[in-house]
Amino acid sequence: MFNMDFYKKAELLHLSTLIENKCNIKTVIREHITRTKTQKYHLYISDESLKDFIDLINTYYDSNLIIKKPSVIYAPGSKEFSILIGLLLGDGSLSLSTGFTGTARYEHTCKHYDFLAALSDQWLPLYFEKSSATPWPKENPTQWWRGSQMLPELFDLYTLWYKPECVNGKKVKIIPLNLLETNFNEISLAHWFMDDGYFYNRDKTFYFCTDNFTFVECEFLAKLLHKKCNIKATVNKRTTTVNSITTTMWRIRVSRSSVCLFRQLVKPYLLPVFYYKLGSE
């Protein structure tokens, strides 16, 4: 990553084009909002050009300073990676750090502190150190949050899970279709459910809060549930009106014919504190 806070976007676009033309290295410009609400920019080497960039830099480095891309801690296909997929489908978030690294952040209400403890104790111990979570707000906290170590693989995942540009000063999470096609499974489903799922007693079935995803993304997720877990699901429309402004959102509803199968698949991976979400059988 190159910190380009003092450059305008037009200048970075020119620089990005220059780097590609002169060095055959592709770059990505990403916005970030500072604590003072100022819009700034960072220049990143694209993942497809990272190896070429490292080789280029190493040409001019002393042999003792050669840059190497660190090995992946939790590779695709591992149980831990499946867990990470589920957590990111929920309220988990990623952010960019220095030196081609990223961090993961998770937060939960006080009554679900066990969820945050499990990040280091059970699920992703090499991401999260055994340290106490941070209360928010500090006085009379209503929730707790934990951040991971800065890791290169989280940088790579960030580029898949977020749009390059901010929208209204905020980063926007998206669904990485290809990644989920090959890595989503019942473990991912269970951890997603603990975070963003619930049992709606009136309908006697399960829902996922996918309000921030588009209809197309929710439709993909519904089809993914059937393809990967044999769970039938539909996309339900939901509207809210605030200050005379109506917003349309979408939630995934598990079909009643799949309720029993859903319970069987997710229960082995749930923390006991979340058994209440399974509803009455």
| 221-277 pLDDT tens trace | 999 999 999 999 999 999 888 888 888 999 999 999 999 999 999 999 999 999 999
Buried b (16+ CB within 10 A) or exposed e, 194-209: bbbbebeeeeebbbbb
User: Under 8 Å CB-to-CB from 157, ≥6 apart: which residues?
Assistant: 84, 88, 94, 102
Q: Please state which of the ranges 68-72, 168-172, 203-207, 219-223 shows the lowest mean pLDDT.
A: 68-72
CA 108/CA 110 separation, integer angstroms: 7
Q: Does residue 150 surpass a pLDDT of 80?
A: yes
Percent of the chain at pLDDT above 90? Answer: 43
Query: Coil, strand, or helix at residue 187?
Result: helix
Buried b (16+ CB within 10 A) or exposed e, 210-229: beebeeebbbbbbebbeebb
pLDDT band at residue 34 using 50, 70 and 90 as cut-offs: low
Q: Which CATH superfamily is domain 184-281 in?
A: Homing endonucleases (3.10.28.10)
CATH 3.40.50 applies to domain 70-172: no
Contact 155, 102 (CB under 8 A): yes
For residue 171, the model assigns a pLDDT of 86
Sheet holding 233-242: strands in order across?
Answer: 197-200, 205-208, 245-254, 233-242
In the chain, beta strands by DSSP E: 2-3, 27-33, 39-45, 93-96, 102-109, 134-136, 143-147, 197-200, 205-208, 233-242, 245-254
The position carrying tokens 């079909």 is 255
For residue 1, the model assigns a pLDDT of 56
User: Under 8 Å CB-to-CB from 180, ≥6 apart: which residues?
Assistant: 85, 220, 221, 224
Contact 56, 23 (CB under 8 A): yes
Give me the residue spans of the domains in the chain: 2-65, 70-172, 184-281
pLDDT band at residue 8 using 50, 70 and 90 as cut-offs: confident
CA 184/CA 186 separation, integer angstroms: 7
CA 5/CA 47 separation, integer angstroms: 22
The phi, psi pair for 236, rounded to 5°, reads -105, 135
Amino acid at 57: I
Q: What is the dihedral of CA 263, 264, 265, 270, to 10 degrees?
A: 70
The position carrying tokens 């473990």 is 187
* H helices, E strands: number in the chain: 9, 11
Q: Do domains 70-172 and 184-281 have the same CATH topology?
A: yes
CA 120/CA 73 separation, integer angstroms: 14
